[in-house]
A and B are shown apart, each in its own frame.
Chain A
Amino acid sequence: MTDILDPLDAIEKLEPIEDIGGVAQPLLKVNGLTKHFPVRGGPFAPSKTVRAVDDVSFAIAKGETLGIVGESGCGKSTTARLLMHLMPSSSGEIIFDARQVGRQLSLRELRRGMQMVFQDSYASLNPRLTIEESIAFGPKVHGMADAASRVLARELLGKVGLRPENFANRYPHEISGGQRQRVNIARALALSPRLVILDEAVSALDKSVEAQVLNLLVDLKREFGLTYLFISHDLNVVRYISDRVLVMYLGEVVEVGPVDEVWDAPAHPYTRALLAAMPSSDPDHRTQVPPITGDPPNPIDPPKGCRFHPRCPFAEPLCSGATPKLTELNPTGHQAACTMAIPGSGHSRAPAKEVQNDVDET
């Protein structure tokens, strides 16, 4: 590997990232994030748009773990890629610790503060770099001296439970999937980031290895004071690791709230279906009726109004009209975008305007 900087300029240690906004300022705030992909039709067909992420807003507090769940095509991975600026967004702003990305915060600074672990542990490592070189690469780009970055890489390997003397000089193809994912986590931590985005980071692992990596993530979070954005389709994993959870459907946020509250009293019928679709854990009480029928629709030209209404058992004519807005249900921050949860929306199951918002359980 070539040296990136003149050795004289190289530094021994990366300065920790300063906290700017204070405790009350969310570490990450996303406003109206949107990504539309144009799709060309045939020569005479009108071009279409995949509305992969549509007006998504959320915030992640310092030190919390926010889980994002949803089925394939719901836009959860696109959201992660937009946050990392791996693709340009169509519109929307991203504010990292009180500084708007692109205006007050450069991409280079953002990527020191925010790192990502991908699902495919093999594809996300350079096959021609040893594990030690892969981990040391980021710090070197940010000006660390070669020797210092290698020391750091070995130290991090130890932190993720891989003995540096056995693993540092191996190549990605020489180690198992669980070990590779540990390497990816070590690489993400090499720049001492504050936010780590885990995009289906444990989904490809076997169950017993998945548990090991989840334990590791919990330990690292405590040790380094990290904040996680945890994306997964596995609801059990999300419940275990997250403080708050955000449910996406066809590019939109349909429900967000503290994880136990969403699990115990899901307000959106899609969340309810998703929870009911989890396989049973009791051989004597198997699932008898599928919670919803049909496949998730194509995000090209999604349904008008509430995007879930064609599959929703409670849909009423007004659901295909206006898109329901994310509405606060109670002071804990539990929000849902469903006419049934919005007081006085006109849906027959909606709570009356003044009455306490208890969710209609069916």
Chain B
Amino acid sequence: MSNLVEVKNLNIRFTGERTVHAVNDLSLSLGEGEVLGLLGESGSGKSVTLRALMRLLPKKRTQISGSVNVLGQDVLALDDDGLSAFRGQTASMIFQEPALALDPVYTIGRQIAESVMRHEGKSHAEAQARALQMLEVVRIPSAKRRLDAYPHEMSGGMRQRAMIALALACKPKILLADEPTTALDATVQIQILLLLRELQREFGMSVIFVTHDIGVAIEICDRVAVMYAGQIVEQGTLSQIVRTPLHPYAQGLLASTVHGAKRGARLETIPGTPPSLDKAPTACSFAPRCRYAQPRCVEALPPDVQVGPNRTARCILAEPIADGAAPARAADAVAGGLDLA
């Protein structure tokens, strides 16, 4: 499987009144036709990572180092013309709040047609036809009439469908989704998730899906990367992460979901709060909240342990126990020993 996206040692700092080390030494890859979930709480750097892939971060206040490679293009080196060709055609993005992401003074049809004309050089009539076709693809009822609707005339779920239509109008290879269902009602959220799943298969896209909701990740992702304090602390297939999380933070995050908890029983919690990120990490960022913390957790950065094919965990607990032991085995033993459920 060739990788469409290859991010290596990405560091993102926001400078200004105070410095924020938003993303620290992050590496990830995205294969063809794959849905990768970035799972984490607010401030873990998942949206910042996504925006860096689209180069949407404010130029003046952001320092980016590392490499971001999308389809062989070095995204961090693109000039303005290159970027504008890249956005929409190679990679496209959908956002949490469609009311803010769509332009309020143009109709939906015109916004979609504009992007088709700009990227594919189509005539106005052809672009309008594509816009109509896209609205039908995302199953907006009476699509023809909706072409002339302004964003404010639509409901939240409908707007999110329109934004998906706009993002997919030029058939991008990669879709970046930044919590696209968080602002929606439960009955609408599931419709949008199923729609995205279907379109991903139909268009053969690769998707990076940012979410804080494990349930949403379960519905849509193939692979999951759990983020904490600007780092990926664990990566693996969806069922590996959900069933046998290795990193204590991933374990805590999964255990603290209220789903299925008995009334009256205490919920598992992770004590404390995430670090402030004003310094680059020199040790395990999770150590102050970790119940398995050892002295060496606070002395040096934990290794990014390759536990199995496509599975990593940034924790000393995931290290092979003895030399020569198969790493995956050792990790399983650790997972068994730490299983909280």
Instruction: Point out residues on A near B: beta carbons under 8 Å.
Output: 71-72, 176-179, 206-212, 214-215, 218, 233-237, 239-243, 259, 273-274, 276-284, 286-296, 298
7 A-B pairs closest in CB distance: A279-B215, A206-B41, A71-B185, A211-B256, A211-B267, A208-B270, A295-B155
* B84 contacts A by Cβ under 8 Å: no
Q: Would you call the interface of chain A mostly helix, strand, loop, or mixed? A: loop
Given contacts A206-B42, A214-B267, A295-B155, contact A280 B187 (CB under 8 A): no
What are 25 A-B contacts with C-beta separation under 8 Å?
Answer: A71-B185, A176-B273, A177-B42, A206-B42, A207-B212, A208-B41, A209-B41, A209-B273, A211-B267, A212-B269, A236-B260, A239-B258, A240-B267, A241-B263, A277-B189, A281-B215, A281-B218, A281-B260, A283-B218, A283-B242, A286-B218, A289-B194, A290-B187, A295-B185, A295-B188
- Taking CB atoms, residues of chain A closer than 8 Å to B141 are 294
Q: Determine whether the beta carbon of B186 is less than 8 Å from that of A233.
A: yes
- Taking CB atoms, residues of chain A closer than 8 Å to B269 are 208, 211-212, 215
Q: Determine whether the beta carbon of A208 is less than 8 Å from that of B252.
A: yes
Q: Mark B197-220, 1 if CB is under 8 A from A, else 0.
A: 000000000000000111110110
- Taking CB atoms, residues of chain B closer than 8 Å to A295 are 155-158, 185, 188
Given contacts A71-B186, A284-B239, contact A208 B215 (CB under 8 A): no
- Taking CB atoms, residues of chain A closer than 8 Å to B213 are 279
Q: Determine whether the beta carbon of A277 is less than 8 Å from that of B190.
A: yes
For chain B residues 253-269, which have a beta carbon within 8 Å of chain A? Answer: 253, 256-261, 263-264, 266-269
Q: Determine whether the beta carbon of A296 is less than 8 Å from that of B187.
A: yes
Q: Determine whether the beta carbon of A280 is less than 8 Å from that of B215.
A: yes
**In the bound complex, what is the Cα–Cα distance between A277 and B190 (angstroms)?**
6
Shortest CB-to-CB span from B288 to chain A, Å, is 14
Q: Mark B214-255, 1 if CB is under 8 A from A, else 0.
A: 111011000000000000000000110011000000001100
Q: Mark B157-188, 1 if CB is under 8 A from A, else 0.
A: 11000000000000000000000000001111
Most B CB within 10 A of own CB, among A72, A211, A281, A290: A211
Instruction: Point out residues on B near A: beta carbons under 8 Å.
Output: 41-42, 141, 155-158, 185-191, 193-194, 212-216, 218-219, 238-239, 242-243, 252-253, 256-261, 263-264, 266-271, 273
- Taking CB atoms, residues of chain A closer than 8 Å to B266 are 215, 218
Q: Determine whether the beta carbon of A296 is less than 8 Å from that of B219.
A: no
Residue of A233, A240, A294 touching B258 (CB-CB under 8 A):
A240
**In the bound complex, what is the Cα–Cα distance between A87 and B268 (angstroms)?**
38
Q: Determine whether the beta carbon of A290 is less than 8 Å from that of B253.
A: no
Q: Determine whether the beta carbon of A287 is less than 8 Å from that of B194.
A: yes
Given contacts A218-B264, A240-B261, contact A273 B187 (CB under 8 A): yes
Closest residue of chain B to A286, judged by CB?
B219
Most A CB within 10 A of own CB, among B158, B193, B216: B193
Q: Determine whether the beta carbon of A283 is less than 8 Å from that of B194.
A: no
Shortest CB-to-CB span from B284 to chain A, Å, is 17
- Taking CB atoms, residues of chain B closer than 8 Å to A214 are 258, 267
Shortest CB-to-CB span from A281 to chain B, Å, is 5
Q: Determine whether the beta carbon of A283 is less than 8 Å from that of B41.
A: no
Residue of B187, B193, B263, B268 touching A274 (CB-CB under 8 A):
B187
Inter-chain pairs besides A207-B253, A208-B252, A278-B190, 19 sampled, C-beta below 8 Å: A71-B185, A179-B273, A206-B212, A207-B257, A208-B253, A211-B258, A211-B268, A214-B258, A215-B269, A240-B267, A259-B263, A279-B219, A283-B218, A283-B239, A287-B193, A295-B156, A295-B185, A296-B155, A296-B187
**In the bound complex, what is the Cα–Cα distance between A209 and B97 (angstroms)?**
24
Q: Determine whether the beta carbon of B264 is less than 8 Å from that of A282.
A: no
**In the bound complex, what is the Cα–Cα distance between A240 and B266 (angstroms)?**
10
**In the bound complex, what is the Cα–Cα distance between A72 and B185 (angstroms)?**
7
Shortest CB-to-CB span from A13 to chain B, Å, is 32
Given contacts A207-B41, A208-B252, A279-B216, contact A274 B258 (CB under 8 A): no
Given contacts A71-B185, A240-B263, A277-B186, contact A207 B256 (CB under 8 A): yes
**In the bound complex, what is the Cα–Cα distance between A283 and B270 (angstroms)?**
24
- Taking CB atoms, residues of chain B closer than 8 Å to A286 are 218-219
Most B CB within 10 A of own CB, among A212, A243, A289, A298: A212
**In the bound complex, what is the Cα–Cα distance between A221 and B185 (angstroms)?**
29
**In the bound complex, what is the Cα–Cα distance between A294 and B191 (angstroms)?**
8
Closest residue of chain A to B242, judged by CB?
A283
**In the bound complex, what is the Cα–Cα distance between A72 and B155 (angstroms)?**
11
- Taking CB atoms, residues of chain A closer than 8 Å to B273 are 176, 178-179, 209
- Taking CB atoms, residues of chain A closer than 8 Å to B158 are 295
Closest residue of chain A to B156, judged by CB?
A295
Shortest CB-to-CB span from B64 to chain A, Å, is 26
Shortest CB-to-CB span from A216 to chain B, Å, is 10
**In the bound complex, what is the Cα–Cα distance between A234 and B269 (angstroms)?**
18
Shortest CB-to-CB span from A227 to chain B, Å, is 16
- Taking CB atoms, residues of chain B closer than 8 Å to A177 are 42
Q: Determine whether the beta carbon of B218 is less than 8 Å from that of A290.
A: no
Most A CB within 10 A of own CB, among B42, B187, B238, B242: B187
Shortest CB-to-CB span from B142 to chain A, Å, is 12
Given contacts A207-B257, A214-B267, contact A71 B187 (CB under 8 A): yes
Shortest CB-to-CB span from B222 to chain A, Å, is 10
Closest residue of chain A to B239, judged by CB?
A283
**In the bound complex, what is the Cα–Cα distance between A280 and B238 (angstroms)?**
13
Closest residue of chain B to A275, judged by CB?
B186
**In the bound complex, what is the Cα–Cα distance between A93 and B263 (angstroms)?**
32
Closest residue of chain B to A284, judged by CB?
B239
- Taking CB atoms, residues of chain B closer than 8 Å to A293 are 191
Q: Determine whether the beta carbon of B257 is less than 8 Å from that of A236.
A: yes
Closest residue of chain B to A237, judged by CB?
B258
Closest residue of chain A to B42, judged by CB?
A206
Residue of B185, B215, B261, B263 touching A278 (CB-CB under 8 A):
B215
- Taking CB atoms, residues of chain A closer than 8 Å to B239 are 283-284
- Taking CB atoms, residues of chain B closer than 8 Å to A178 are 273
Residue of B156, B187, B238, B243 touching A292 (CB-CB under 8 A):
B187
**In the bound complex, what is the Cα–Cα distance between A237 and B259 (angstroms)?**
8
- Taking CB atoms, residues of chain B closer than 8 Å to A243 are 263
Shortest CB-to-CB span from B135 to chain A, Å, is 15
Given contacts A176-B273, A215-B269, contact A291 B190 (CB under 8 A): yes
Q: Determine whether the beta carbon of B258 is less than 8 Å from that of A281.
A: no
